[in-house]
Amino acid sequence: MNSDKISHHISEQFNKELQDVRNKVLVMGGLVEHQLALAITAFTSGNVEIADQVIRRDSEVDVLEMTIDRECSEIIARRQPTAFDLRLLIAVIKIVREIERAGDKAVRIAQMAIRVSGVDGQYNHQYELEHMADLIKEMVHLSLDAFARLNIDEVTGITGRDANVNREYENILRRLITRMMEDPRNMARVLDVIWVARALERVGDYACNICEHLVYIVNGLDVRHLSHEEMQERIAGNSTDDVSRIRS
Amino acid sequence: MNSDKISHHISEQFNKELQDVRNKVLVMGGLVEHQLALAITAFTSGNVEIADQVIRRDSEVDVLEMTIDRECSEIIARRQPTAFDLRLLIAVIKIVREIERAGDKAVRIAQMAIRVSGVDGQYNHQYELEHMADLIKEMVHLSLDAFARLNIDEVTGITGRDANVNREYENILRRLITRMMEDPRNMARVLDVIWVARALERVGDYACNICEHLVYIVNGLDVRHLSHEEMQERIAGNSTDDVSRIRS
């Protein structure tokens, strides 16, 4: 075997490893999307069994996070990648953290579902969250989809939705505070709904963070801490680089 | 110059780079400790000027995060470190993220301070937070100090405090909900105090996360997602490795 063949073999093996890491991120992302959807259903319907299921499956999310994280470190140590490959591996370490945090919020929502279900069923404010939950589920899905394709074309379209989420969150908060003032006896229960709205709002932030890490992978730009407009400009001013090799 | 000297020179230069990264983390940590203390003062005293100052300085925290993050990636690409050095660099990328999140909470608390100060001053519930704020400031300080010394002896002592924080948070929540029920007109204002308590509780989690990343640096163990007891056992069962070289 000549050295060309060996290096070709090594690079093929290396590409496989990177592809494997990316696939695991998508599995983890899919699981957390599922967890979020179930947690929201459990909360809005008061179904304790579904909530229990979300709590039980959280350890799978944790294991995936730790596995992917370890694999990235091992690949960095063994392959000593640079440029796009190194950016991918470092960003994946950050992305799995965001996904794991979203998974944690699913668990918190499931725990709230169990708590709320134990209270007298006279009041139901959970439906207040439905629109916001739809916005969040979509943001998470789109950000993971963009990562799957390593494509940043839609990124500012996704992060731009965060303003809608924040507006919706403020609306929910205003409505629920009014409810609490009208009937303070029901306060603890309404507060739980507010907590869940807050948790969902945070998940929207995690989806935005995933998008920012994706921009770093694709064109090496750090677009954190920018306004929506600054981010759009920064991305527009840059062409993507060696992404074609791995995007397939 | 013989190759021994060159490699000695390279390794000395490399150590300097690692030391420089660590120092920057400590500068960033010190800044965020300061931001948190000021934000809490602004909130409990209603001092808007201090709150403004916290908000203005947040960009310094962001710049430090991005600088350290970039330097770590560059060192990994250029030096191709393994073992302890690689763990340090990867963990630092994670640690600056935790510190930055704590800095974000300081800004949120400062924003709340401004909002609360604008409301009629008839009620003051901010003092409710004083004990919790002290607990949190101490946890953040101790976790950064442990990182400064790359010493994990105190780590479970720090993370063990989180249970106290959570208990204190639940106490505050109960007291404030009672207040709101007694006087619903004051609700929005009390809710702001609850938000701040919640933000502080999260900062305690970030301090614990820093400790977990530190364990990974020092002995290569991933102690995330463990109970306090499991973490104690896991750390006790492991001796530290090549930490002496860089600890000084």
Interacting residues of B56 by C-beta distance below 8 A, sequence separation 6+: none
pLDDT band at residue B71, thresholds of 50, 70 and 90? very high
Rounded to an integer, the average pLDDT of B25-53 is 96
Q: How close B224 comes to chain A (CA, Å)? A: 8
What pLDDT was estimated at residue A3? 63
Report the pLDDT value the prediction gives residue A182, as an integer from 0 to 100: 86
Closest Cα to residue A151, out of A69, A223, A237, A235?
A235
Query: B181 pLDDT exceeds 90?
Result: no
Predicted pLDDT of residue B126: 78
Instruction: Give the pLDDT score at A109.
Output: 96
Q: Identify which of A27, A148, A21 has the alpha carbon closest to the alpha carbon of residue A79.
A: A21
For tokens 């990562």, the residue is: A147
- B239 φ/ψ angles, rounded to the nearest 5 degrees: -90, 155
d(CA B128, CA B145): 28
- The reported pLDDT for the residue numbered A241 is 47
Of the given ranges (A34-43, A117-126, A144-153, B232-241), which has the lowest mean pLDDT?
A: A117-126
Q: How many CA atoms lie within 13 A of A212 on its CB side?
A: 20
- Tell me the residues of chain B between 167 and 206 that have a Cβ less than 8 Å away from chain A: 177, 180-181, 184-185, 187-188, 191
Identify the band that residue A120 occupies on the pLDDT scale cut at 50, 70 and 90. low
Residue A243 reports pLDDT greater than 50: no
* Euclidean distance between CA atoms B224 and B231, whole angstroms: 8
Q: Sorting pLDDT into bands at 50, 70 and 90, what band is B123?
A: low
Please name the member of A70, A80, A185 whose beta carbon is closest to the beta carbon of B80: A80
- Cβ neighbours of A187 in B, within 8 Å: 177, 180-181
B242 pLDDT above the threshold of 60: no
Mean pLDDT of B189-195: 90
Chain B residues 113-172 within an 8 A CB cutoff of chain A? none
Encoding tokens for residue A90? 């470092």
Beta strands in chain A (DSSP E): none
Q: Quick one: A83 exposed, middle or buried, by C-beta within 10 A (0-12, 13-18, 19+)?
A: exposed
State pLDDT tens for residues A57-86. 999 999 999 999 999 999 999 999 999 999
Give chain A positions within 8 Å (CB) of B77: 82-83, 86
Residue A245: predicted pLDDT: 43
Find which of A210-219, B5-14, B171-180 is predicted with most confidence, using mean pLDDT. A210-219
Question: Would you say how long chain B is, in residues?
Answer: 248
Enter the tokens of residue B174: 């109960």
Token representation of residue A206: 């995690």
Write down the pTM of the prediction. 0.92
A146 vs B5 pLDDT, higher one: A146
- Any long-range contacts for B171-174 (C-beta under 8 Å, 24+ apart)? B172/B128, B172/B129, B172/B132, B172/B197, B173/B197
The H or E element that residue A206 is part of is: helix A187-219
**CATH code of the domain occupying A10-237:** 1.20.58.220
For testing the chain A interface, which of B61, B62, B73 should be mutated: the one with the most A CBs within 10 Å? B73
Domain boundaries along the sequence of chain B? 10-237
pLDDT at res. B2: 60
Give me the residues of B, 87-106, that contact A with CB < 8 A.
Answer: 87, 90, 93-94, 97
B222 to chain A: closest CA residue: A66
Local confidence band at A237 (pLDDT 50, 70, 90 cut-offs): confident
How large is the ipTM? 0.90
**Sequence letter at residue B84:** F
Residues A221-246 have a mean pLDDT of: 78
Q: What is the DSSP letter of A128?
A: G
What does pLDDT average to over chain B? 91
Taking CB atoms and an 8 Å limit, are A181 and B177 in contact across chains?
no
* Contact by Cβ (8 Å): A200, A129: yes
> How many CA atoms lie within 13 Å of B239's alpha carbon, on the beta-carbon side?
3
Q: Which residues of B122-155 are buried (b: 16+ CB within 10 A; e: fewer)?
A: eeebbebbeebbebbbebbbbbbebbeebebebb
Query: Out of A62, A73, A184, whose CB is closest to B90?
Result: A73
Tell whether the torsion through CA atoms of A144, A37, A133 and B98 is positive or negative. Answer: negative
| Cα separation, B129 vs B133, whole angstroms | 6
Asked if the model's pLDDT at residue B106 lies above 90, the reply is yes
Spatial CB neighbours of B24, under 8 Å, sequence gap ≥ 6: B64, B67, B68, B71
At residue B180, does pLDDT exceed 90? no
Q: Phi then psi for A98, rounded to 5 degrees?
A: -65, -45
Tell me what percent of the residues of chain B surpass a pLDDT of 90: 77
CB atoms B224 and A73 under 8 Å: no
Mutate to test the interface with B, among A210, A224, A227, A231 (most CBs of B within 10 A): A224
Cβ atoms of residues B110 and B54 within 8 Å: yes
Please state which of the ranges A178-187, B100-109, B153-162, B209-218 shows the lowest mean pLDDT: A178-187
Interval B188-217 mean pLDDT: 95
The predicted structure's pLDDT at residue B247: 42
Chain centroid to Cα B39, Å, comes to 15
Sorted by sequence, the CB contacts under 8 Å of residue B159 that are 6+ apart come out as: B208, B211, B212, B228, B231
Comparison of pLDDT for A28 and B7, the residue scoring more: A28
Q: Locate A47 and state its tokens.
A: 């179904």
Decide if A83 and B73 are in contact by the 8 Å CB cutoff: no
* pLDDT-derived band at A121, boundaries 50, 70, 90: low
Q: What is the 3-state secondary structure (H, E, C) of chain B?
A: CCHHHHHHHHHHHHHHHHHHHHHHHHHHHHHHHHHHHHHHHHHHHCCHHHHHHHHHHHHHHHHHHHHHHHHHHHHHHHHCCCHHHHHHHHHHHHHHHHHHHHHHHHHHHHHHHHHHHCCCCCCCCHHHHHHHHHHHHHHHHHHHHHHHHCCCCCHHHHHCCHHHHHHHHHHHHHHHHHHHHHCHHHHHHHHHHHHHHHHHHHHHHHHHHHHHHHHHHHHCCCCCCCCHHHHHHHHHCCCCCCCHHHHC
N-terminal to C-terminal alpha carbon distance within chain B: 28
User: What is the predicted pLDDT for the residue at A183?
Assistant: 83
